[in-house]
Amino acid sequence: MAAEQGRVNDYQQCVVLLDLTAQQHLDDTGGRSAARTMLEQILAKCDGIPGLVSLLTSTLSLIATFA
């Protein structure tokens, strides 16, 4: 992601959101909800990085299967 930071409007905020998302516990509803919200925010802010968009979309789909 660092190599593509020029394609993202707010790179630092995306990094912070990714770190916060990684700290969520996906085995409970609150953690899944928080992770989903943060991933959606990252998608909106970091849509200039194609590989990241693919990864986040897949991750959102996986989280939905736990719900």
Q: Return the axis-axis angle of helices 50-66 and 29-45, rounded to nearest 10°.
A: 160
Q: For 5-48, write each residue's pLDDT tens digit.
A: 787 778 888 888 888 988 988 888 999 899 889 888 888 887 76
pLDDT at position 50 over 80: no
Q: Return the axis-axis angle of helices 11-22 and 29-45, rounded to nearest 10°.
A: 160
Question: Could you give the 3-state DSSP secondary structure of residue 50?
Answer: helix
pLDDT given at position 30: 92
Q: Which residues contact 44 (CB under 8 A, 6 or more apart)?
A: none
H or E element, residue 66: helix 50-66
Predicted model pTM = 0.76
